[in-house]
Amino acid sequence: MNSPRLMDALWTVGTRDLLAALRHRADLLTTLVFFAIVASLFPLGVGSDTALLRLMGPGVVWVAALLASMLALTRLFASDYGDGTLEQLALSPHPLTLLVLAKTGAHWLASGLPLVIIAPLLGLQFDLNADAQLVLLASLLLGTPTLSLIGAVGAALTLGVRGGGALLSLLVLPLYVPVLIFGAGAVEASAAGLDAGAHLSLLGALLLVALVFAPWATAVSVRIAVE
C-alpha cells in the first residue's frame, strides 16, 4: 500500500522539477551555451594541429562539462528552499533520501543529459575518431550523474549561506577530480587505441558509491538547513 504512494510521490517530485526547469529554458540554454563556448575556445586558441587537439580534446570536453554542471547546481534546491517546499518534503512521511534522489535525477535530466547529447558534436572539433566519440558518450553518461549526485550534497550544505555559490564550488571541486580523471582518461585511452574498459568500470563504481551515499548525505543536509 505504501509502495504505490511512494512511487507517486517520487514521480510527482521528479516531474515537478522537470516542468519547472522547462519553464526556465534560459537557464538550461545558458548551461549548454557555456559548455559549447568553453569547449570551442581551446581549438581556436591552440590552432589546427590535429595531434595536439586529439591529445587535449578529452580533457577539455570533460572540464567544460564539469564546469557547466556546476553552473546549474545553485538552482537545485534554492527555489524550493525559498518557498518552503523543502520543509514540506522534510515533513513528508516518505523517505527524504528518496525524494532528494528524485530531485537530483530530474536535475540531471534537465541539465546533465543535454550536455551528454551535444558532447560528440564538440568532440569533432578535436578530431576524435568514432570509437573515442562513443567512449566519450559512455563516460559522460556514467560521469555526469555522479557529478549531479555529489553536487546535490554541496548544494544542500550551502542552502541559506551568503556567498553560497563560491562555497559550493570549493566543496565539490575536490570531489569531482576522480570523475574528471577517469572520464578524460577513458577517452584518451580509446583515442590512443587502448582499452578504456578499466576507466569506465571505475566511473561506474563511483556512480554506484554516489548513489548509495550522496542522497543520504543530501537529505541530512536538507534537514539541517530547514530546521
What's residue 62's pLDDT?
93
Query: What pLDDT is stored for residue 1 in this prediction?
Result: 41
pLDDT of residue 11 exceeding 50, the answer is yes
pLDDT digits 0-9 by tens, 210-226: 999 999 999 998 888 88
pLDDT of residue 164: 65
- pLDDT on residue 227: 76
Neighbours of 106 (CB within 10 A): 21
Average pLDDT over residues 10-27: 85
Q: Which residue is listed with cell 568514432?
A: 130
Gyration radius of the chain over CA positions:
18
* pLDDT score at 81: 81
Q: How far is CA 57 from CA 39, 111, 133, in A?
A: 8, 22, 11
Is pLDDT larger for residue 23 or for residue 98? Answer: 98
Nearest-CA neighbor of 128 among 198, 66, 186? 186
Cα separation of 226 and 83, whole Å? 11
Reported in sequence order, the residue ranges of 21-99 that DSSP labels E, i.e. its strands, are none
> pTM to 2 decimals?
0.90
Contacts of 38 (CB under 8 A, 6+ apart): 60, 63, 64, 67, 68
The model's pLDDT over 58-70, given as tens digits with 9 standing for 90+, comes to 889 999 999 998 8
pLDDT, tens digit (0-9, with 9 covering 90-100), for 159-211: 877 766 778 888 899 999 999 999 999 999 888 888 889 999 999 999 999 99
Q: Tens of pLDDT along 35-93?
A: 999 888 888 877 777 788 888 888 899 999 999 988 888 778 878 887 888 888 888 88
For 103, residues 6+ apart whose C-beta sits below 8 A from its C-beta are: 13, 14, 17, 76, 77, 80, 152
Residue 40 CA: distances (Å) to CA of 25, 120, 124, 149, 212: 22, 12, 10, 27, 35
Residue with more model confidence, 25 or 16: 16
In the 8-state DSSP scheme, what is residue 109? Answer: I
Percent with pLDDT over 70 in the chain:
97
d(CA 134, CA 128): 10
Ranges of each domain in the chain: 2-226
Which helix (H) or strand (E) covers residue 96, if one does? helix 96-107
Given the C-alpha cell 524550493, which residue does it identify? 80
- DSSP label of 110: I
23 is written with which cell numbers? 519553464
pLDDT digits (tens, 9 = 90+) for 121-167: 888 888 888 888 999 999 999 999 999 999 999 988 888 777 667 78
